[in-house]
Amino acid sequence: MKATGRLHDIGQSLWLDDITRALLDSGTLKRDIDELSVTGLTSNPTIFDNAISKSGDYDAEIRRLMGQGQSGEALFFELAVQDLSRAAQLFAPVHQRTAGVDGWVSLEVSPLLAYDTQATVAQAKALSKKADQPNLFIKIPGTPEGLPAIEEAIFAGVPINVTLLFSPDHYTAAADAYMRGLERRVAAGLSPDIRSVASVFISRWDRGVAGKVPAALQNKLGIAIGQGAYKAYRDLLDSDRWQRLENFGARPQRLLFASTSMKDPNAPDTLYVSKLAAPNTVNTMPAGTLRAFGDHGEVGAVLSRDGDDSAAVLAEFAKAGIDTAALAAQLQSEGAKSFVGSWQELLGSIEAKSKALA
């Protein structure tokens, strides 16, 4: 059995962080499902930008949509919904077999709406309705400005992938917004069975402290943060507040480890995947990391309920002068700006492609 299959068997979902029309048309995604135990998929503007700008796979559809008067952001969402709807249908058997726990795909709202709660919620509802797939998450950043939008979207019944989380505290804040939305649904006599995942980014931590810590601490911060987030996740599931919601029919917001490709060429390319094996969680990874793990990955001990040695490791980073709370805020701020930059690049690529095709 491949390492991906063994990881799946301990209860962790493997999702592919990639989507292209070629991936769908060639049957590659179907093979990943069948051979590498992939049970879901995430996307982001950079992925779509590369897919649209660096291939001709979308040209005919762009011409057709331009003929209907579509342009810019509206044209992009037409393309994205088409691709993600096809992917969602491939994952539909997993979604049904797991009673909605697994088999999800994700589509991001415009980051240009980050400071407008009502506009974010309106777009989340519109995209969810447009796709009309029961296993589609809408991605909303878990920034301080995004938390009210997450609560409102959950209250409105839209499944949400909370993205851009960097610390256990970020995770806890996102989980709180999720539960507030569910509690409001219960108070309104509505079902609290609205699904969600909370995505904690891993690799950017080690990139953020590269060259600033002793060699013995290299590539250890991201894993410690992930372990701490897992402890916070398990603590929340044991809380009276969550168990009251569960009694009304709510299902847990699953912890998702994102950005798990190794950026250090001198480190094992599957390090983050191996070290963050944990039941009832998700790991989303780009195709290269997925295939590397299927080829030579190792599944060792699963994360412990209490986060293994994360507290001790974080104490070592504190001694080395790393303020993890400040760094978490910095990484989230930089990530939000990067999302905007990627979005603008995507819209620029669509404009350039549209002009070329016209």
Please give the pLDDT value at position 138. Answer: 98
Give the separation between CA 284 and CA 61, rounded to whole angstroms: 28
CATH number for the domain harbouring residue 31: 3.20.20.70
Q: Give the residue numbers spanning the domain of 220.
A: 3-357
> String of b and e for 182-191 (b: at least 16 CB within 10 Å)?
bbbbbeeeee
Question: Would you state the pLDDT for residue 268?
Answer: 94
pLDDT at residue 315 above 90? Answer: yes
Mean pLDDT of 177-181: 98
What is the share, in percent, of the chain residues with pLDDT greater than 90? 92
Euclidean distance between CA atoms 155 and 255, whole angstroms? 20
Max mean pLDDT among 49-58, 66-75, 195-204 falls in 195-204
Among this protein's residues, is 139 annotated catalytic?
Answer: yes
What pLDDT does 358 receive?
A: 80
Q: Is the pLDDT of residue 54 over 90?
A: no
Catalytic residue among 2, 139, 275, 355: 139
pLDDT at res. 357: 86
The per-residue pLDDT for 307 is: 77
Label residue 63 by pLDDT band (50, 70, 90): very high
> 116-129: per-residue pLDDT in tens?
999 999 999 999 99
Mean pLDDT confidence for 83-104: 98
8 Å CB contact between 127 and 77 = yes
- Band (pLDDT 50/70/90 cuts) for residue 287 is very high
Radius of gyration of the chain (CA): 20
Alpha helices in the chain (DSSP H): 3-9, 21-25, 28-35, 45-53, 59-67, 72-97, 117-131, 147-155, 168-187, 203-208, 221-237, 240-247, 271-275, 287-296, 310-319, 324-357
- Give the tokens for residue 328: 């978490």
Q: What is the pTM of this model?
A: 0.96
- Residue 53 pLDDT > 90: no
Cβ-contact 158, 138 below 8 angstroms: yes
- Tell me what the pLDDT averaged over the chain comes to: 95
pLDDT of 119 reads: 94
Q: Is the pLDDT of residue 143 over 90?
A: yes
pLDDT band at 308 (very low <50, low <70, confident <90, very high): confident
In this prediction, residues 252-281 reach a mean pLDDT of: 96
What is the average pLDDT across 229-249? 98
Tell me the C-alpha distance between 181 and 328, whole Å.
25
Q: How many domains does the chain have?
A: 1
